[in-house]
Amino acid sequence: MDGDFDALKREATAWVVRLTSGKATTEDGEALRLWRARSEEHERAFREAARLWRDLGPALAEKRVRAPLMGRRSFLTGSAMAAGAAGAAFIMSDLGFLPSINGLLADHKTAVGEQKSIALSDGSTVVLDGGSALVTDYTADARHLSLTAGAAVFEVEGADPRPFVVSAAEGRATLPSGTISVGHAVNDVSVACIQGTVQVDCLTSVTLVQGEGVVYSAAGLGEKIVSEAETVAAWRKGLLVFNDRRLGDVVADLNRHRRGKVMLASNALASQRVSGVFHLDRPEEILAHFQDALQIRSMNLVGGIVLLM
């Protein structure tokens, strides 16, 4: 009955508030998992509460983006708290001790350093990079997927007449068949056409053919760029390839593959440009390259946290 479901939604909202309060523990995460498993209505109530929390508005998004970029003094204070019994919620979630809201809502997700191939019901295939989350919503009219975190390659089956639509942040990519790569950076999303043709929409529209890519953000679409086959979704080959990219975006990619967390001491440092080709299973070589190329220092802290400054 509606009254019973409303009561479940109130409980679910309390769980979400607890999880994001800064006081949650790993035991809370396990208790929530058991609560969600009690019935389909428990799971539905949680998903509705979590979606509402996730979509509250840009203020929360801005807070989440800015949290890792802090001064050295405030970062060290936060790290000392993390070494205590509970620690800060954003640190617990980022390090993987507690699930993120995106992860809790996902139909498919990967852990840090994990890659997964998923066979979809229409015959299409998705390969998820580490630290990624995907929601699927197939209807009679379209095949909808939402990449809420991380990166993925979509190999789309063309025998199904429904359009295949991949949403990520403020935009979406639509194609009848073919192969595309979609990846989240810190403030934008990249789409590359590996095979076929794809239409990308974000305020305006652009059509990409094989070998072309585009980056979009809340400000709209960027210019078309050449998308080289050997560098598109290089993570599938165990490589991290970056050519004149923002350090903040490269670090975000690295953090999907490295246990712990690399964090930056300032927004100015995050904006520095770097280039290189490295093996993802040698993260310390990547960090050493950052230090040499930008003449910066690093500090190793608890929990695999590395502060670049």
SS (H, E, C) 213-272: EEEEECCEECCCEECCCCCCCHHHHCEEEEEEEEHHHHHHHHHCCCCCEEEECCHHHHCC
User: What pLDDT, on a 0 to 100 scale, did the predictor assign at position 23?
Assistant: 67
Q: How far is Cα 99 from Cα 114, in angstroms, rounded to an integer?
A: 15
Question: Are 74 and 124 contained in the same domain?
Answer: no
pLDDT value for 21: 65
Residues 83 and 144 in one domain: no
**Nearest CA-CA partner of 156 in 131, 133, 132, 174:** 174
By the 10 Å C-beta count (0-12 exposed, 13-18 middle, 19+ buried), 60 is classed as middle
Q: Are 200 and 172 in contact (CB under 8 A)?
A: yes
Beta-bridge partners for 137 = 144
Question: What is the model's pLDDT at position 56?
Answer: 59
Q: Residue 297 sits in a domain of what CATH number? A: 3.55.50.30
pTM of the model: 0.74
User: Do 176 and 283 belong to one domain?
Assistant: no
Statement to judge: residues 121 and 204 lie in one domain? yes
Q: Which pLDDT value is given to residue 74?
A: 44
* pLDDT for the residue numbered 151: 97
Q: Sheet of 298-300: strands edge to edge?
A: 261-264, 305-308, 298-300
Q: Are strands 164-168 and 143-149 parallel, antiparallel or unpaired?
A: parallel
Tokens 């004149």 found at: 244
- The pLDDT of residue 210 is 95
pLDDT at position 298: 87
Please check whether residue 99 is in contact with residue 30, taking contact to mean a CB–CB distance below 8 angstroms.
no
Kindly report the number of other CB atoms within 10 A of residue 244's CB atom. Answer: 7
| Residue 148 within a domain | yes
* CATH of residue 152: 2.60.120.1440
123 and 214 together in one domain: yes
Residue 143 domain-assigned (yes or no): yes
On whether residue 182 sits in a domain, the answer given is: yes
Are both 129 and 176 inside the same structural domain?
A: yes
Q: Are residues 31 and 127 in the same domain?
A: no
Considering Cα of 262, then 267, then 269, then 273, what sign does the dihedral take? Answer: positive
Asked, for residue 219, whether it belongs to a domain, the answer is yes
Domain count of the fold of the chain: 3
- Whether 77 is in a domain gets the answer yes
- pLDDT, tens digit, 9 for 90 and up, residues 98-127: 556 666 677 899 988 999 999 999 999 999
- Is residue 76 domain-shared with residue 46, that is, in the same domain? no
Same domain, residue pair 204 and 267: no
Beta-bridge partner residues of 289? none
Q: Among 158, 193, 226, which residue terminates a domain?
A: 226
Of 203, 226, 249, which residue constitutes the final position of a domain? 226
- 102: in domain: no
Please list the ranges in the chain whose pLDDT falls under 70: 1-3, 20-26, 54-104
The answer to the question of residue 103 being in a domain is no
**119 and 191 share a domain?**
yes
For residue 173, tell me if it sits in a domain. Answer: yes
Query: Same structural domain for residues 116 and 156?
Result: yes
Same domain? 183 vs 261: no
In whole angstroms, give the CA distance from residue 170 to residue 121.
26
Q: For residue 218, give its domain range.
A: 108-226
- Residue type at position 276: G
As a residue count, the chain comes to 309
Crossing angle of helices 40-54 and 2-19, in 10° steps, is 50
Residue after which a domain boundary falls, among 175, 198, 226: 226
